[in-house]
Chain A
Amino acid sequence: MRHALALLPVLLVAACGGGKAGGPDLTAILDEAPAQHLSDYGFFADAAADVPAERVRAYDLINPLFSDDAAKHRYIFVPEGKTAKADGGGLPVFPVGTALIKTFAFAPDMRAPEEGAFKVETRVLIRKADGWAAYPYVWNADGTEATYAPTGARQTISTVSPAGEPLEIHYEVPNKNQCKTCHQSGDAVEPIGPKLRNLAHEGPAGVDQLADWAAAGLLDHVPDDLAPTPSAADMTLPLDSRARGYLDINCGHCHKPDGSASNSGLWLQLEETSPVKLGLKKHPTAAGRGSGGRLVVIEPGHPEQSILAYRMASTEPGIAMPELGRTLPDPVGIDLINQWIAGMEGE
């Protein structure tokens, strides 16, 4: 029965002439309006979006954003005959028609994320002729179809946490505007994760990801002097590098000069070097009750006196940072940032 259901949308689309034998459908990708169903784009060979279509490649990041411990499956599509142009370690210039597809999945027991995994949402970023557009898709309960959901969704997920505790997640799929809040760069929308420096490692295929992209013609070249983003999880790296890597991907998309939190003057992207802009001894601007009674963003040597640590540990709106994209605290990240602040020399 499940198989029959799964075939249904494929048949419907096929009947409408949206054939996908040759891979993704550029007409659907470049249409001004989002496709109603994820399957309409033809990114995947199967309705469950487990088998990427031709020219669609799985990839992953050195540092991912924390999203309530969701398992994330990322794919990129670059139209045939086109190539992304490397721009140092930053975001390459992706050609029109590029799509970045990210599926969020959970499992009944997150200690075994593959067992009984179910998809919740798929976020699609498409490079249209006039810039990037972000579209959220929400999966049906059977995992056979994901439907465009401009207003997002909320879903209660009962699972067992990576630490083995029963966990109820009030998961929030962001709406279309919230997609832009995090993906904002000036007036434009931009991808966050796939900066070349954050891709420069062995990807899910078990080979050097960027060399593979270049060999496949997705990327024009791999810059010689590319310095990979320090992995927050790589215990062989210095604490400062790991912490900055974590802040870069989890905070730096808004906390940057042209991001949604620019007005805070707290800038946490990897390139930032000014101690006060990184929060050291910096008084908050608009923290409100997010200050938690603490005086500065980072009090060197004292995570317990640092607003940054307070807001990372909270799940309450008005206090919690990031404001969007998580409903749980990230204990691993909190521990890392607390250690980093504790290790700073106080006065």
Chain B
Amino acid sequence: MRPIIIASAMLAVLVPAACSKKAPAEKAAAQAPVTQVSAEGDFAASLQLALIEAKPGDTILMPEGTFAFTTGVSLDVDDVVLSGAGQNKTILDFSGQTGAGEGLLVTSDDVTLTDFSIRDTKGDGIKSKGADRITYQYLTVEWTGGPLATNGAYGVYPVESEDVLVQNVTVRGASDAGIYVGQSKNIIVRNSIAEFNVAGIEIENSSNADVHGNIARDNAGGILIFDLPDLPVIGGHSTRVFDNQIVHNNTPNFAPVGNIVAGVPTGTGLIVMANRDVYVFDNTFEDNDTVHVFLTAYNLPFEDERYNPLPRDITLRGNTYTGGLANPQGFVAPIAAALGGQFPAIVTDGVTRWSGGGDVELNIDIDEAEDVGFVSLGLGEYPLDPANLAPSFERPSGGKETEPSPIVLPQDPQPE
């Protein structure tokens, strides 16, 4: 336990310093490993000041209470812990926000965010960009008005980062993805709850991710493993999705039109789109009304020559599937109707080529219990043409011999 030294920057400002050319707080904060942000006065300003004046190695402690913010706060100092008094004890309330694109923005490395809540941001909840070795833990990010298109897009939003750890967070109400990891590599998302978002958890244009032990429930779509064209980082690969409960993702899709997730059919458990080396095992799929697992190509036109729109090298094994499937929705609903009214548990679109190219071997391996239903729609290519529908119930088998290794992160020491 490190000693707690109160570095009261606000107090220091009151000390007359007519001859000082340095900002007084600069001196007060020297060698202060722990800064307690006072609940008195303008908390938002005090917190922002503490985050600006933090030194590498510092811990910033926020007290219990609900604190109003009118603009975003940000951290740009490496190796800082920002901690509250508990997930539902320290609440940063952005319902009166009039400035900035997110609630909390982190742009430095080796940061840990822990034990607080962020509420009702106008844009994203917590964003970290270019923030390597970041840890998000014991956090709640939520929009308290329920699932609304006017909610912010992402709850927890690390992007363009290496070594990302998200654990024991709860995200509720995001109008895009609750937990979204984009254009990053080496990622763990575990033991978290994502509910009442459009997408519960989304790993996009990223590589080497373990998504496990999470509960994704009551979203429009539970978990998405996506790759999109025309972004600086493309070619997502090597994701393991295991031991998750992906349940009752039937909340009507409330994403604003124009966003990619607005196309996610309500009632979907897991979608793998345009990604490779994805291993889905030991998950529980339950009561997802459209389809439990959907493997699909990217279905919009694109010009990015680097991009492969197909899902390939995908393995599904040892998952359990119960209930749901009775009410197919979204753009796939007419296809379900053509199949007799509903989908089996696992659907692949059967798209194997794009832009006039030849057929590609997808190497999809469906290694599930015999009673788990499967169909390939056999569409061949996009754009979607119902005339191309050529359903096949024969399970593909294949898969690669070696699965990706478990992700190990430097900020997450392994037990001896």
Contacts and interface: CB of A to CB of B under 8 A. Distances in A.
Interface of A: 12, 15-16, 18, 28, 31, 33-36, 40, 148, 150-152, 154, 170, 172, 175-178, 180-181, 184, 187, 257, 260, 262-265, 276-277, 282-296, 307, 316-319, 323-324, 327
A307 B258 CA distance: 9
Given A150-B52, A151-B52, A287 B258 contact: yes
Interface stretch (B228-236, B322-330, B332-340, B344-352): B228-236
Contact of B99 (A15, A151, A327): A327
A265 B176 contact: no
A31 B71 contact: no
Contacts of A292: 256, 258
Interface of A is mostly: loop
20 contacts: A28-B21, A33-B22, A33-B26, A36-B17, A154-B71, A170-B98, A172-B71, A175-B74, A177-B48, A257-B232, A262-B232, A276-B303, A285-B260, A287-B258, A288-B175, A291-B258, A296-B258, A317-B99, A323-B123, A327-B98
Interface string B240-257: 000000000000000011
Nearest to B24: A36
Contacts of B150: 289
B188 to A, nearest CB: 20
B123 A288 contact: yes
B56 to A, nearest CB: 15
Nearest to B77: A177
Contact of A285 (B17, B18, B228): B228
Interface stretch (B33-41, B152-160, B380-388): B152-160
Interface of B is mostly: loop
Contacts of B14: none
Nearest to A257: B232
Nearest to B47: A151
Contacts of A282: 230
A177 B49 CA distance: 10
A289 B151 CA distance: 7
B183 interface: yes
Contacts, number: 166
Given A263-B182, A288-B176, A177 B74 contact: yes
B360 interface: no
* 5 cross-chain pairs, A with B, having the tightest CB-CB distances, nearest first: A288-B153, A291-B258, A318-B123, A318-B122, A323-B101
Contact of B100 (A284, A290, A317): A317
B258 A317 contact: no
Contacts of A293: 256-258
Contacts of B149: 289
Contact of B52 (A36, A176, A264, A284): A176
Contacts of B182: 263, 285-286
Interface string B22-46: 1111100000000000000000010
Contact of B257 (A176, A264, A291): A291
Nearest to A8: B18
Nearest to A296: B258
B382 to A, nearest CB: 14
Contact of A36 (B22, B71, B99): B22
B21 A40 contact: yes
Given A288-B176, A317-B100, A151 B21 contact: no
A275 B20 CA distance: 53
Contact of A324 (B99, B159, B228): B99
Contact of A34 (B23, B180, B257): B23
B76 A289 contact: no
B19 A16 contact: yes
B129 interface: yes
A297 to B, nearest CB: 10
A263 B160 contact: yes
